[in-house]
Amino acid sequence: MADPSPPPDAGEITAVVHEAVGGIELEPAEKREIWRFTRRELPYLWSQRTSYLILGSYRDPYIRRLRAVQNELTKRLGAYPFIMGDLLELPTDRLNTFDIMFSLLATYSDYIVGVFEKESGGEAPELGEIDDPPYLDKSYVFPRDYAWVTDENLDSKQHVVRAALEIAFADDLSADDVKANVESLVDRAQESGLGVDEQEVWEVIDDRTDEGEEPTTYSWVHLNKFRKFELHERCFPWTTEDELRTVVDELPSPTPRPEWEERENQ
């Protein structure tokens, strides 16, 4: 097989890779593998379709939620949603392969979509990569059970659901205590003017109890990063998979072109 020639925009691609590896000089074989990767994968991102790089855990059951997001985005005409784990890998033993692949894909994708359900795993450093330039302007996060710390105030339905789950999974509460505390919680929320339906709260609790999935907990670092996206109106909490499928609609559609691209072309 003939060695792949440098792709279009080879200079720009080299600059991205150079930054990803910290300035290490590439060996000829490594360059060939990078060219092979870019010639196979980047044309999808250079096409007229709007690309969505989906980040998150590849382990079960989390991968099912990534596929749910991918399936919802696939329904959009002109969309190309993809998961990095599905792509051709870079067979290099010396280099930090993940950094190279991530940098190239994140740079040339129109949007980056992070789905988070835990604080450990490969998606943790990904969150640290996308909350600052050059990726912040085109990144959106979907953290499960997330609610910004607001002492004991109930500011949103998400706060109520989060608090109800913590009550339901508390080890020191009886079934009667759980019922009484959840009912009191919903009453306070309704008195505060929040449109919270008690039956919906119990349905969430029942589903999570049946699945054995306790409320997701995050480190203070995670919470602060989610808050940063929230302040930029690009954070969309969810509790159930159905909610996740619904909030995916908040992502920008394939048209018009993304604002960050329009700014760069000015």
Mean pLDDT of 88-109: 88
Residue 68: the pLDDT is 97
Of residues 200 and 105, more confidence is placed in: 105
Contact (Cβ atoms closer than 8 angstroms) between residue 223 and residue 149: yes
Q: Which of 54-58, 125-129, 257-261 has the highest mean pLDDT?
A: 54-58
Contact (Cβ atoms closer than 8 angstroms) between residue 68 and residue 241: yes
- Give the CATH architecture of domain 10-146+216-264: 3-Layer(aba) Sandwich (3.40)
Of residues 174 and 86, more confidence is placed in: 86
Q: Mean pLDDT score of the chain, rounded to an integer?
A: 85
Flag whether pLDDT at 37 surpasses 80: yes
Q: What is the pTM of this model?
A: 0.81
> Residue 84's pLDDT band (boundaries 50, 70, 90)?
very high
Contact (Cβ atoms closer than 8 angstroms) between residue 160 and residue 186: yes
Residue 258: the pLDDT is 60
53-57, 149-153, 174-178, 226-230: the lowest-pLDDT one:
149-153
3-state secondary structure the chain: CCCCCCCCCHHHHHHHHHHHCCCCCCCHHHHHHHHHHHHHHHHHHHCCCEEEEEECCCCCCHHHHHHHHHHHHHCCCCEEEEEHHHCCCCCCCCCCHHHHHHHHHHHHCCEEEEEECCCCCCHHHHHHHHCCCCCHHHEEEEEECCCCCCCCCCCCHHHHHHHHHHHHCCCCCCHHHHHHHHHHHHHHHHHCCCCCCHHHHHHHHHHHHHHCCCCCCCCHHHHHHHHHHHHCCCECCECCHHHHHHHHHHCCCCCCCCHHHHHHCC
> Residue 154's pLDDT band (boundaries 50, 70, 90)?
low
119-123, 192-196, 242-246: the lowest-pLDDT one:
119-123
Flag whether pLDDT at 151 surpasses 50: no
Both tokens assigned to 29: 């074989």
